[in-house]
Amino acid sequence: MSRSKKAPHPLFTGKTIRIAFVVVLVSILLAAAGCGSSGERSKILNVGVLLGSGGLGDKSFNDSAYSGLLEAQRKFNIRFETVNTVNKETDIKVLRSFVQNKYDLVIAIGFEHMETVQAVAQEFPQGRFAAIDFEAAGGNVASVVFREHEGDFLMGVLAAMMTRTKVVGVIGGADIPAIRRIISGFKQGVAYQDKTVTVWSDLAGSFSDPQAGLTLALSRYGQGTDIIHNAASKTGLGIIEAARQTGKLTTGTSGDQRYMAPGNVVGNRPKRVDTAVLTMVEAIKDGTFKSGVRSLGLKENGLSLGPFDEALVTRAMSDRLEDLRQKIVKGDIIVQAE
């Protein structure tokens, strides 16, 4: 009796085996592709930062930039390295090192780095550079500058409303375009509010010398000034100390420094360096990085106003500042840069 041959199970015919193989192969390829896309999305960006004069701990410009880096690290999973400025030769080596080590973005903070950035950007056209608070030429350089004069116009108005001696002034760190814009805006604001107020301006000669700020501010307070607008970064820490020692007042261009001399620091007009840094990192992350110059003012929220010591700044003063802020944003008031 012949034994009948057992038919193969339908799942294991030659045809179905070939189909199963193709399905598995496609699944593996799709999984691999998916992992690659996820890897691209989760790629850790490396950002190198050359700080401006004064370095970290200035309670001002550089600290604001650092805050932006921390926020970028939280949002975009970046790694970053900050290096203090030394001199032009050393700074060039720092920027070169960042590019040679394949950093995705190289940021320089402060006007003093203009020539350095332009030189290294030209040397390494494959690198991508962000110039914060100054304009630098180059097809691979994105510059972010601020219309400081718009915010400092308002601080001049505030000083004119608050002064009792009718003498106010502004101390800048050094003679650079940003400081000239600050001084110009402050003076215009004082005159707009009260033409009878005398306003002077000084340069400390440095952004990193608190003792120079202290000496200069003590001298001006001793001559009858009762409010000094501080635009001197780390040097400005001396201005704050002078206000504390004399019982006079100071406003500023940095973050909230009221805690450093309660009752003497009225409030500040911070430049949003943190926003500029975060924006540049985001552009790299999104693939939207472009060379050229971006200008930030009150309209773009590149400048903030306050917070202020409410025991010193009345509601009427705040309302006045807000009214003028809106007029500047709308273009009803034009503040001259210099």
Where would I find the H helices in 171-264? 177-193, 210-222, 236-246
Percent of the chain with pLDDT over 90: 79
Consecutive H or E run containing 36: helix 14-41
Confidence at 84, pLDDT banded by 50, 70, 90: very high
Q: Which residue has the higher pLDDT, 53 or 59?
A: 53
Identify the pLDDT of residue 7. Answer: 42
Query: Same domain for 175 and 322?
Result: yes
Query: Hey, is 228 helix, strand or coil?
Result: strand
How far, in Å, CA of 45 to CA of 59, rounded? Answer: 27
pLDDT of residue 26: 36
C-alpha 276/C-alpha 272 separation (Å) is 7
CATH number at residue 244: 3.40.50.2300
Range of the domain at 51: 46-146+273-296
The answer as to whether 66 is a domain residue is: yes
**pLDDT (tens digit per residue) in 144-189:** 999 999 999 999 999 999 999 999 999 999 999 999 999 999 999 9
How far is it, in rounded angstroms, from Cα 123 to Cα 95?
11
pLDDT in the model for residue 43 = 80
Q: What is the pLDDT of residue 282?
A: 96
Give CA angle at 86 (292, 58), nearest 5°: 80
Does residue 285 lie in a domain region? yes
pLDDT band of residue 55 (cuts 50, 70, 90) is confident
Q: How far apart are the C-alpha atoms of 67 and 233, rounded to whole Å?
A: 16
Same domain, 51 and 159: no
Q: What is the pLDDT of residues 242-265, one digit of tens each?
A: 999 999 999 999 888 999 999 999
* pLDDT beyond 50 at 338: yes
277 and 264 within one domain: no
**Is a pLDDT exceeding 60 seen at residue 132?**
yes
Rounded to whole angstroms, the Cα distance separating 260 from 262 reads 6
Q: Are residues 195 and 318 in the same domain?
A: yes
Under 8 Å between Cβ of 64 and 255: yes
Element containing residue 265 per DSSP (H, E): strand 265-268
What is the structure's pLDDT at 12?
Answer: 37
pLDDT at 60 > cutoff 80: no
120 and 169, same structural domain?
A: no
Task: For the chain, give the mean pLDDT.
Answer: 89
Residue 10, pLDDT score: 41
- Domain annotation covers residue 239: yes
**C-alpha dist (Å) from residue 234 to 88, 138, 204:** 20, 30, 11
Q: Residue 253: inside a domain, yes or no? A: yes
Note whether residue 278 is domain-resident: yes
Tell me: pLDDT of 314 over 80. Answer: yes
Backbone angles phi, psi at 172, to 5 degrees: -105, 160
Residue 61, pLDDT score: 81
| Residues near 291 by beta carbon (within 8 Å), at least 6 away in sequence | 138, 139, 140, 141, 142
Q: Is the pLDDT of residue 21 over 70?
A: no
Q: Measured between alpha carbons, how far is 335 from 150 in angstroms, rounded to an integer?
A: 6
Confidence of residue 42 (pLDDT cuts 50, 70, 90): low
pLDDT above 90 for 1: no
Where residue 197 falls among pLDDT bands split at 50, 70, 90? Answer: very high
Q: What is the DSSP letter of 165?
A: S
Q: Report whether pLDDT(15) > 90.
A: no
Burial class (CB in 10 A: 0-12, 13-18, 19+), 32: exposed
Distance, CA of 90 to CA of 106 (rounded, Å): 15
| Same domain, residue pair 187 and 72 | no
Same domain assignment for residues 323 and 253: yes
Same domain, residue pair 142 and 154: no
Contact 321/305 with Cβ under 8 angstroms?
Answer: yes
User: Is 56 contained in some domain?
Assistant: yes
- Return the amino acid letter for 77: N
Which amino acid makes up residue 213?
G
- What is the β-pairing status of strands 105-109 and 249-252? unpaired
**How does strand 46-50 pair with strand 79-83?**
parallel
39 C-beta neighbours (distance < 10 Å), count: 9
The yes-or-no verdict on residue 320 having pLDDT over 60 is yes
306: left (phi over 0), alpha (psi -120 to 50) or beta: left
- The structural domain count of the chain equals 2
Confidence of residue 199 (pLDDT cuts 50, 70, 90): very high
Backbone angles phi, psi at 154, to 5 degrees: -65, -35
